[in-house]
Amino acid sequence: MDLISLYPTWYEPTVGSGWVVALIATFHVLASHTSVGAALLFAYLSHKAYREDREDLLDFIKKYGLFLLVFTYVAGSITGPGIWYSTTVASPNGIGALIHSFVWKWATEWVFFVIEVVGVYMIVYLVGKVDKRTHMKISVIFGLASWATMLIIVGILSFMMLPGKEQWFADGGYLNGFYGTNTFIQLGMRTAFMFTITAVVGGIVIAGIKDPAFKKEMARKLGWLGIISTIVGALMFQWYLTAVPEQALLVMENRLPDYFMPSIVAVLAGTLAYFIITMIRPQTLVQGFAGAMAVIILVAGLWPEETARESMRKPWVAGQYVYSNQVIGRDVPGMDIKSQLPLLEKVGILKAHPFTPEHLREVNEGNKIQAGEFIAMTYCSNCHSPSETGIRPLHRYFPEGVSQERVAKYVKGVLTTGNIAYMPKMPMTDSEVDALAAYLVLNNNGGQAAVTAAIDSEIAQRDRALAEKNASDKVAALDFVQEVK
């Protein structure tokens, strides 16, 4: 048998598996960036507390640390592997490609994670229980180790967009895949925005400070941190756009929602205004205001940024060789990886997929909708939900009442040949094209209810045929027994 590395498909009809990944990832980015930024801030504050012998700064670290422990370390440490879990079920070959190339990088990051987790408890619970010098040393280690986790993950995130160096395709090698222009610029950008988020979330803790003078001092410190990092981050973002593939820019121009750029600009301007206000009038900084700002940044800033990064990679999901529908669409001689497209062109998707049920391996009139659904789930559903809602729903792409013939022509002419900029090439046999077209038309015109009814009818027909065959076999067997007697 000719099989390729395709897994079953998970279909989440309400929001779509892609949004589930994006939701968890966005939440994790907020939590992890806050944690890393705060860790570096703590290193600075603890050093200052040691030099100037100040208790109030350590008290601030304790309060901010405890807040982070509950809201970002708990949620952040769980949503970190949570991204693995969600990508595993939404895009197993995407995460598999990263894991198999960067397993040791992740393992190295894990060493720093362990240091980070032990460190955060020590930073919080040892205030007042160890001398200031020791606390300062723990804080410095904690801050550097936290940043090290970011250094590592940014290389892997960059590889998702494109391998560090073009040479990786020919020669392979972890270093060629990890380090590139994109890696360093993204690192600078993330480090800057990390401080912005830290300054915003830190406002929630500053809001609780009772002493007006200390509140003013901390508001100013975090305000300056926020202003500088926001401006640097915005500049780095512009620079970052020069280091992504042209295809990504094309997607950005044409496929990102209209609200993307205005939303980013509004968030940046709002963030700067927020820091200026809280620096000038620290008394305006109350927990509700600071908390609301953290949510606004999450919803209006990080969400579009993370989803844009996901969209810009299309049609790839990892390393410019794994398509978003999990098929390997390019040779990577350096890693001895072969494109799976030639095999798909030869035998079709149904015969190449290891999880195709036996009765769907050949398309016929009795299984057309089931086969079409299977193909749509495999090839399309990662980016286009077959439901009413969810990620870029399929029904939006076909006019009402579209004919099966027209859809089949589109599938054969555009999808199987890869003649569309942001979508993978999806080889199919003629019968598979027919099945997919039949399914798409039914789904478009009648929705899920019509598809379910058609599939139920196909199954009932199959069961009836099977029962009839069994009955005739029994009769034949009885005739045979009687003849023998």
Partner 1 sequence: MDASQVAQVTEMMYALRNPAGIPTFPIIFIGLGVLTFALHILFVQLMLGTSAITLYGAFRENAYWRRLGAAMLEIAKVSVSVAVVIGVAPLLFVQVIYDPHWYTSNVLSADWVIAFIVILILAYWAMYYFYFRNSKNADKTAVPSSRWSMLISLALMLVVGFIMHSLTSQILHPELWKEWYMQNGKLDYSGDQLHAFNIWRYAFFISMSIPVTGAMLVTYRRFKSVREDADHDYLNWAAEVGKKWIKVGSVIATVLYVMWMVTLPETAGNFATSIWGILGGVAVIGYALWAQLRLRGEARFCSYMALPMALVIGLVVAISREILRYDILNGFFHYDFFDYKIVMDWYSTGLFFLTFAIVGGVVLSYFLTIAWKSGQTVGVYTPGAGVNKLGTLSIWIVVLWIIQFFVVGFYVWAQ
Positions in 193-232 near partner 1 (CB under 8 A): none
Report in angstroms how near the CB of residue 459 gets to partner 1 at its nearest. 5
> Contacting partner 1 (CB under 8 A), which of 181, 247, 404, 445?
181
322, 316 in Cβ contact below 8 A?
yes
- Asked whether the beta carbons of 380 and 325 are under 8 A apart, the reply is yes
* Cα 356 to Cα 287: distance, rounded to the nearest angstrom: 54
Please answer whether residues 178 and 109 qualify as being in contact, where contact means their C-beta atoms are separated by less than 8 angstroms.
no
| Nearest to partner 1 of 294, 327 (CB atom) | 327
Q: Per CB under 8 A, does 467 bind partner 1?
A: no
At its nearest, how many Å lie between partner 1 and the CB of residue 20? 6
Contact 325, 382 (CB under 8 A): yes
Our finding on whether 15 is near partner 1 (CB under 8 A) is: no
Inter-residue contact 271 to 196 (CB < 8 Å): yes
Q: Does 387 bind partner 1 (CB under 8 A)?
A: no
Identify the residue among 73, 195, 316, 379 touching partner 1 (CB under 8 A). 73
CB neighbours of residue 187 within 10 Å = 19
Kindly determine how many residues on this chain lie close enough to bind partner 1 according to the rule CB under 8 A. 105
| Footprint (CB under 8 A) of partner 1, residues 391-450 | none
The C-alpha atoms of residue 396 and residue 388 are separated, in whole angstroms, by: 9
Is 354 a binder of partner 1 (CB under 8 A)?
yes
* Residue 465 in the binding site for partner 1 (CB under 8 A): no
Min dist CB 141 to partner 1, Å, is 5
Cα gap 298→305, rounded to integer Å: 10
346 binds partner 1 (CB under 8 A): no
Stretch that binds partner 1, among 68-76, 235-243, 303-311, 437-445 (CB under 8 A): 68-76
Identity at 409, one-letter amino acid code: K
Stretch that binds partner 1, among 32-40, 81-89, 247-255, 307-315 (CB under 8 A): 81-89
At its nearest, how many Å lie between partner 1 and the CB of residue 152?
Answer: 8
Question: Cβ closer to partner 1: 312 or 327?
Answer: 327
CA distances from 351 to 5, 203, 218, 388 (A): 12, 58, 64, 29
463 or 473: whose CB is closer to partner 1? 463
- Name which of 14 and 417 has its Cβ closer to partner 1: 14
In degrees to the nearest 10, what's the CA dihedral of 205, 211, 213, 219? 10
Span from 171-179, 292-300, 419-427, 441-449 in contact with partner 1 (CB under 8 A): 171-179
Closer residue to partner 1 (CB): 139 or 229:
139
Based on CB atoms, which residue is closest to partner 1, 95 or 201?
95
- Of 346 and 409, nearer to partner 1 (C-beta) is 346
Q: Does 179 bind partner 1 (CB under 8 A)?
A: yes
Backbone angles phi, psi at 318, to 5 degrees: -155, 130
Minimum CB–partner distance for residue 81 and partner 1 (Å): 5
- Could you say whether residue 176 binds partner 1 (CB under 8 A)? yes
Q: Does 106 bind partner 1 (CB under 8 A)?
A: yes
Q: Does 385 bind partner 1 (CB under 8 A)?
A: no
Closer to partner 1 by Cβ: residue 11 or 397: 11
Q: Of the two residues 127 and 234, which places its CB atom closer to partner 1 in the complex?
A: 127
User: What track of x and - describes contact with partner 1 for positions 304 through 343 (by CB under 8 A)?
Assistant: ------------------------x---x--xxxx-----
Question: Which of 44, 48, 140, 277 is the binder for partner 1 (CB under 8 A)?
Answer: 140
From 45-53, 143-151, 190-198, 405-413, give the range in contact with partner 1 by CB under 8 A: 143-151
- How far is 35 from 143, CA to CA, in rounded Å? 9
> Could you say whether residue 272 binds partner 1 (CB under 8 A)?
no
Which residue among 147, 240, 303, 323 contacts partner 1 (CB under 8 A)?
Answer: 147
Is position 86 an interface residue for partner 1 (rule: CB under 8 A)? yes
Q: Is 175 in the site for partner 1 (CB under 8 A)?
A: yes
Binding of partner 1 by 264 (CB under 8 A): no
Return the residue of 51, 114, 273, 475 that touches partner 1, per CB under 8 A.
Answer: 114
